[in-house]
Structures are given as C-alpha cells and as structure tokens.
Structure 1
Amino acid sequence: MIVVGDREVPLLEVLTGFLSAVREALSSSSSISDSYDPQTAAATVVAVPAHAHGAQRFLTLEAFRRAGFRVTAMINEPSAAGFEYTHRQGRTLNSKRTRVIVYDLGGGTFDASLVNVDGVDHEIIGSLGLNMLGGDDFDAVLADCALDEAGVGLDDLDLPSYVRLLDVCRDAKEHLSPQSRRIPVEVAGIPVTVQVEDFYTRATPLVEASIRAMEPLVEDLDGDAPLAADIAGIYLVGGASGLPLVPRLLRDHFGRRVHRSPYPAASTAIGLAISADDEAGYSLADRLSRWFGVFREGDAGSTVSFDPILGRDQLIPDHGELVITRRYRAAHNVGWYRFVEYTEVDRSGEPRGDIAPFAQIVFPFDAALQTPGTDVESVPVTREAGPMVEERYAIDENGIVQVRITDLDTGFSRTHALSRPAVEAA
C-alpha cells in the first residue's frame, strides 16, 4: 500500500493506472499515435533496475500486462544500455578491449554492469549497485545548500513547500554545465545563489559511494589505478549521470576512458528498441544480480542456519526456465523455510546489504500433519527421521524465482510463485 492524498492504494493499482494512461497517450497524442494500436502492437519490451528483486520485477510485469501491453521481454536497464553502447560506440571495442562498464545513475537507483561484447553478442559478467542512491539524493543535497544560503531550516518548511524546493533544485541541477559557477534557487520566496563548487563538495560523497559499489566489477582495480586493459571504457547513462561532477570524479579515479551517452535518459529505451528488433541480431546472456538463499530451522528449532541457494552470477535463461533441484532426507517433523534475496555476503556466507524477504513456507514433513486445515505453524518442531524431500528452484527469463518443496514419499507439495497464490497444496 502507498498513501495517495488521504487514502491508501495498492501499489499495483497505482502502477497499472499510470501505465494505462501511458498506453492511452501513445495511441492518442504521441508522435506515433497514427501508427500505434495497442491491440495489434507486436511486442512491448520493458526494463527494470538490475538490482530489482523478484517482487519488484513481478509487479512491473503485471502492471504492464493489466494496462493492456503485451510484454515479450524484461531486460535489466544497464544491460539494455549495453546494446545502445555497442550500437553507438562500437569503434571503441576491439580484440583487446572487449568489455565495457555501464554506469547507470537514474532518479532513484544506481546500477553498474560489466558487459562482455563479441560483435552483437552481449554477456553480463556481473552487476552491482545501490538501490537507495540516485538523482533524488543530489536534489536533496542542493536543497540543503539552498536552505543554508537562505538561513531557513528544514523544519521551517511544510511538506508541499519542500517538495516544490526539490522540484526547483532538480530543474537547476539538470541545467548545470561544466562551465556553470553559480546556481540560482528560490527558497520559500527568498532568492539565493548556491556556488557550484559548494554543491559539488557536498555531493561528492554520493558519487564516491557509487564508485565504491562498482569497483569489484574490475578484478585488478586497486585504488586509483586505471581501468583494466580489456575494458574499453565506462559508459554513463541515466538522467543523473548528466551532472558534470559525475564524469569528472570517474575520470579522476579510473582514467580517461569515460564515455557519456548523448541521450543518457533515453539510453535504456534505445537499447530496448534494439533488443526488440529481430533483424538487428543482438543477443544477451544476463545473470541474477542478487543472491538467493534460505534460513532453515536446526536442532529441533533451537537454532537457525543459512543456506545460499543461487549466486548472483547465476545465468538467466533466455527463454523458458532453468530448474535447479536439491534432495535430502528431512530431520524434523516440520520445516520452516524463510527465503530471502540479498545483495551482499559476509565472509561466512551470511546475507548482508539490501535483504528482501521472498517467502516463508512452513512445510509438514510428518504425513499426519499434511491433512488440509492443519495449523502447521503452531506445531512444535521436533527432531525425527522424515521423508525424502525435493526443493525445486525455477528461474524464468525475467530473473524471477519460483520455489516448490515436495515430500517425495507422499507427493505433498507447497509452492511459492509470484504469479499465483503464495502457497499451494497438492
């Protein structure tokens, strides 16, 4: 649920309403309205941030479908931008420099992907990012600078006034050029001038955070060393990458091989168009950008252990689904599975960073507890020899995971799939 005005609205309803308006605008008042018919449109290809977790991916797909689009593919944003790079900057790639890092700083998220290119064939070697870093953060920094110049505290503004200030700062930020020295801003009716270097000083930690996040993509990168020899360059995409501070700091840190898309806000859309063109022949081998694992009960429920299931280097199938299975003999009467998606691991393999709950499945290994209507969650966990169990993990072409647990002795199973009710029993 999200709050809209004075009422709570399901997020899927908001997304569907927005995309329905987009669909109507495309067919009635856009530059392609004469030729676009949503009923007969051959395909719609959509993009999501590389670090979007399964629920976000599903909500995006479902909203497009409910709005009347026929979605044929979902691609990670930096992966799509990699297509645009090859199309536009292909001359920078050769037999010695076969890779490019796509640096995607959007309005609300940051992603970076290391792409290996062989002609029109693209393979994502890895993706890293920060889900809580984007252009909005730079707007807030500029707003803080303006408030200081005006001698106005944040508590002195009501919410609508602060939102207007952020809009003013966003517009001012997007009009900065390398030659800009001052930024005129109005705060609560007070005109002020923010020095660009003051703004850049405060914004530098944000760019440095993105640099730290992307550094592991380059194996032999050490501090301020130049890019690895096989990397043709860093390609800047996303609306927030237009801030002149961004390429300046990236060049200072990595060297001179920094290229900016001439259409940074549209690079992903151009890449999606290329991917939808069968005659272009572009191919993509992408990977999960999050680890996937499960917390399990141990020692009759007295302990909890963590088991990593899928690595973020796991390839995503280009069609259909990839299935991974595990089989073992249960050692308890009831199994508690708490599945999570996560962005980092510590040295022991435990999940860290941005951890997103995926599902909780309480599974009765004891056949007597598999009767419909049994409140399995209230049953104490005891240690006892159980049946052979199969865990089945299916990854679809959109990077969404489905989990099914089955008692191989009785055939009883429970499934968590984002496209259907959370738990099914058979």
Structure 2
Amino acid sequence: MRLGIDLGTTRTTVASVDRGNYPVVSFLDSAGDSHEFFPSVVALVGDRFCYGFEALTAAGQGAPLLRSFKRALGAGDVNADSTVLIGDREVPLLDVLTGFLVATREALASASSISDTYEPSTAEATVVAVPAHAHGAQRFLTLEAFRRAGFAVTAMINEPSAAGFEYTHRQGRTLNSKRTRVIVYDLGGGTFDASLVNVDGVDHEIIGSLGLNMLGGDDFDAVLADCALDEAGLDLDDLDLPTYVRLLDDCRDAKEHLSPQSRRIPVEVDARPVTVQVDNYYTRATPLVEASIAAMAPLVEDLEGDAALAADIAGIYLVGGASGLPLVPRLLKDRFGRRVHRSPYPAASTAIGLAIAADAEAGYSLADRLSRWFGVFREGDAGSTVSFDPILGRDQPLPDHGELVITRRYRAAHNVGWYRFVEYTEVDPSGEPRGDIAPFAQIVFPFDAALQRDGIDVESVPVQRGQGPMIEERYAIDANGIVQVRITDLTTGYTRTHAMSRPLAEAA
C-alpha cells in the first residue's frame, strides 16, 4: 500500500495508489458516517488526549479542543521544544503532531475505506507534504512527527509541487508547446503557497515558489466572525474564549456551504441568530485574496509588461480547501481571465499529487528549489560591527536524493566567531534579509585552540582581533530542503554542527 498524506491545518487528507488511479481515502466518524478527511484537531479528556472525530465528539461534551495546531509550525521561532496550549495544559507541539498522526494511522487501519487492505507495518511508501515556503524547523518537525508515528516516509514534497502533479494528471490537455507552465495557487486552512511549475510530459521543474505563512481559511473565518459580531452589536471582548471558538466553528461551516448564488449567511453569536450579507462579507474578505495575489505577483507577471499573465503560462490552478470560497476564483478570474482553473478536488489535490509521487510506475519526476534564502550574521572588527553574508538563494535547486554540499574556507580574524544563521523570504536592495525571518541557529565557535576545551564558556569570552586558523564552513542541503551546518577548525579538527535532527553538538 502506497499513500500520499496531506497534513492540513483543518483537515488531513489521504490518497492511495490503486493501479494508476489515486482515490481519496474516506474515514468513518463515531456515527459511522463517511468523510474524505480526518479532522486536524486534538481534545483533552481528563488526562488523555484524543484526536480527529473522537476529539470533535469530546468537544461537543465540553472537553477543551485545539484546532489548527499545524499553524504553530509556521512560527519563526518554532523548535523541538515549542509548546501549544490545550485547555489549561501546555503540551509539546511535536507530541501533539505525533499523537495526531498515530491516530490517523490507526484510523486508516480500522475505520477507513482502505482498512481491509492497509497494514501499517507492511506499508510500502508514504509521501508527505509541507508548505513550499516552510522553514527548516517546520520541515524537520513535520518529518519527525510522521516518522515517530510509524509511517514509512519515502519523500517530503512541497504542497503546491504535489498539486502540480495532480494538475498534469487531470488537466494535461491545457499544456502545449507554447504554454508549458502552470501556477499552482494553494490556499489552505492556514497557509498560502504559489509555485510556478514548468511541465514537460511527466517531468516537473519548480521555477519559483512564494507564499504567506499566516494566510489561510482560518483568516476568512475570523473575518466572517467579525461581520457576525457587528450584526449582533457586540465586540470581541463581549465573548469568552469558548463562545468565540464556537462562533468560529459556525462561521467555518457557513463559509464552506457558500455557493456563487448565496446572498445571506446565517450564523449564531452566543446563541443569538444573525444574518450577514454575502456582499458585506466579501468586501471585508477581499483584502485577504488581494494579499495572496500580491504575494504571487512575481510568478505571474508578463515580462514584456503587456498582459496580466505571461503568455507561456497555461493556467492558474486553484487548490486548497479555502480556494472553494466563491470569492477566490471570482477575483482571480477578474484579474487573469479564463486561464484560471479550479481543481475538481481542491481540498484533496495535494494528497492526490502525493500519491502520484508515491507511485513509481507513474514515472513523474520533480526538480524543486529551496524557496527561502539562507544566510548568516557575523561579528566583525572585534565585535564592534555585524555583517550579513547570504549563503543560499531561494532558487537553489534541491538534490533529488542524498545531499548537496557547499563549502567555504577562510582564515579566521578573531579569537571567537559568532554565527547567527537565519532563513528569510525577502531581500532588500543591499542584500540584507527582510520579510519573514526565521532564526535557524546560533553557533559560537572558538577559533583560539586554547578555548576548544570542555568547561569553557565561550560566549563570555570577549571578541578580539588576531590571526586565527583556517576554517571550513560546510552546508549540506537534503532533498527535503533541510539545511545542516558544520564549522571546522582545519588545524585542530575541532567541529561544531547544527542539524535539525539533533541539538548543537561539538567534538574534539
């Protein structure tokens, strides 16, 4: 059994490989009803955590419920020790992710459309996804949670890259010798991604990816909740947290049932029915869609400047559950015309693409890119100045297997070196990082051999100028877009390494 699993902000979707077909797996809830997703929620019942449909049932009986925990992965400072709050209990984020995926695995084996054939211990391959603009910690924690949960993960692919596979599988007729590219517009529950994909048969190359880590369907729910509060004559401060969470749930459900013909949206605010006019909601939600269009602008602009969409782009492909809101295709079609296509399975497009990637017989290939810049702030002039050095560009191709290694060698000019590594989404004209900046690691390296001993607090040593040893910086990028840093004194062999798979380590 080979699977593609899209860990979603609100819903997790699974597709399987079945003789050249990629059906979406359905799950049974506690009432025996079938759903083509497993809810991405966790509840606290006494001292026990439960997940998915069981968590929704528990929440209906008053248990504390946490939704959208995947969004915590997008925080710039997230790490293996990050926590989330469920009720009044602080829990490690990695434990929540792992527990949820264990529950997903168990549901696949016992309460799904593939239960008769899925045996977790003998599953051949599982391909998983992350947002295209995910930083290293986000990628590592996602991969680590799947592995701890017992899935045999064979690849991790960027979400819009996987949806590009699904586009070619279903919409290949739109591609021809003149229009060889497609833009995947992926608006999920918690994130927005866009990727420009060049397609040659079953071979896919990612030209560029852009996105917003904190824009998704949850934000559209919040806008609708604000509209409902206005209709009720209330402010957010008038509601306690559980009541506001119920309002968000009601708004999410109402939003998902909107059609192009809808004119009014009935919701309840603290058990009081109110009606929101669709036009009012769309007016207030339009800036969110416009923010996504602005974010992907560098991918769609005609380089000649005489058209809204470059001539070699076959279309903009709308995927992700939040793209089902009628406002989204309406605004995109107003801007880009008839070359806007919506996936027939927008919430499952990524999972289907992941299943295609898991199917070796399909023959699909992918050449992806890093999608974020990576660089380092360094001390200079005996610590009196700080300079920035870009190391990797966001267009850096990823290896299809193994590692891509980049090395730098130089003679140290201080007794101690401070390295503050960051990942970032934008650069200013001088090359300095801007936009979404995520700390990657801080390494304080003793260039002076006398400081390369156990028990010395190198961080407390004043930085002084002076000729030091030859130093090598080694950067290894794997196929998942995760970077490992190693700094070595080539004279003594002393090394410090930072890898997402383990804490900072040093060796003599």
Shorter-normalised TM range: over 0.9
RMSD between aligned residues: 1.1
* Structure 1 partner of 2:151: 69
User: Conserved in 2, the CA contact under 8 Å of 1:416 and 1:424?
Assistant: no
CA distance in 1, matches of 2:400, 2:506: 27
* Structure 2 partner of 1:46: 128
Q: CA deviation at 1:223?
A: 8.3
CA distance in 2, matches of 1:180, 1:308: 50
TM-score (norm 2): 0.83
**Is residue 358 from structure 1 mapped to residue 406 from structure 2 by the alignment?**
no
* Structure 2 partner of 1:309: 391
TM-score (norm 1): 0.98
* Structure 2 partner of 1:206: 288
Structure-to-structure mapping, 1:68-147, within 5 angstroms: 68-147=150-229
CA distance in 1, matches of 2:176, 2:236: 52
Q: CA deviation at 1:219?
A: 4.7
Unaligned runs of 5+ in 1: none
CA distance in 2, matches of 1:353, 1:315: 22
Q: CA deviation at 1:224?
A: 9.2
Aligned to 1:193, the other structure's residue is in SS state strand
User: Conserved in 1, the CA contact under 8 Å of 2:302 and 2:308?
Assistant: no
How many residues are aligned here? 426
* Structure 1 partner of 2:276: 194
CA distance in 2, matches of 1:220, 1:279: 36
Aligned to 2:504, the other structure's residue is in SS state coil
Q: CA deviation at 1:289?
A: 1.1
Aligned to 2:429, the other structure's residue is in SS state coil
Choose which of 446, 466, 476 in structure 2 pairs with 1:394.
476
Aligned to 2:120, the other structure's residue is in SS state coil
Is the alpha carbon distance of 1:169 and 1:224 closer, same or farther for their aligned partners in structure 2, counting shifts above 3 Å?
Answer: farther
Q: CA deviation at 1:5?
A: 1.9
User: Conserved in 1, the CA contact under 8 Å of 2:496 and 2:504?
Assistant: no
- Measured against aligned partners, the alpha-carbon deviations of 1:58-107 in whole angstroms (never above 9, x if no partner) come to 11111111111111000000000000000000000000000000000000
Q: CA deviation at 1:225?
A: 3.5
Q: CA deviation at 1:371?
A: 1.2
Q: Which aligned segments of 4 or more residues in structure 1 are displaced greater than 3 angstroms?
A: 221-225
Choose which of 169, 176, 186 in structure 1 pairs with 2:258.
176
Q: CA deviation at 1:19?
A: 0.6
* Structure 1 partner of 2:323: 241
Q: CA deviation at 1:222?
A: 8.3
Choose which of 328, 332, 338 in structure 1 pairs with 2:420.
338
User: Conserved in 2, the CA contact under 8 Å of 1:225 and 1:253?
Assistant: no
Q: Which moved more, 1:251-260 or 1:336-345?
A: 251-260
State the identity as a percent. Answer: 88
Unaligned runs of 5+ in 2: 1-82
* Structure 2 partner of 1:300: 382
* Structure 1 partner of 2:31: none
CA distance in 2, matches of 1:64, 1:13: 11
Aligned to 1:256, the other structure's residue is in SS state helix
Aligned to 1:423, the other structure's residue is in SS state strand
Counterpart residue type for residue 199 of structure 2: V
- Measured against aligned partners, the alpha-carbon deviations of 1:105-156 in whole angstroms (never above 9, x if no partner) come to 0000000000000000000000000001100010000011111111111111
* Structure 1 partner of 2:505: 423
Q: Which moved more, 1:127-136 or 1:413-422?
A: 413-422
Counterpart residue type for residue 316 of structure 1: L
Is the alpha carbon distance of 1:222 and 1:132 closer, same or farther for their aligned partners in structure 2, counting shifts above 3 Å?
Answer: farther
CA distance in 1, matches of 2:191, 2:504: 28
User: Conserved in 1, the CA contact under 8 Å of 2:300 and 2:308?
Assistant: no
**Is residue 7 from structure 1 mapped to residue 96 from structure 2 by the alignment?**
no
- Measured against aligned partners, the alpha-carbon deviations of 1:199-246 in whole angstroms (never above 9, x if no partner) come to 000000000000000001135268893211100010000000011111
CA distance in 1, matches of 2:309, 2:197: 14
Is the alpha carbon distance of 1:147 and 1:224 closer, same or farther for their aligned partners in structure 2, counting shifts above 3 Å?
Answer: farther
**Is residue 27 from structure 1 mapped to residue 109 from structure 2 by the alignment?**
yes
Choose which of 55, 77, 80 in structure 1 pairs with 2:137.
55
* Structure 2 partner of 1:152: 234
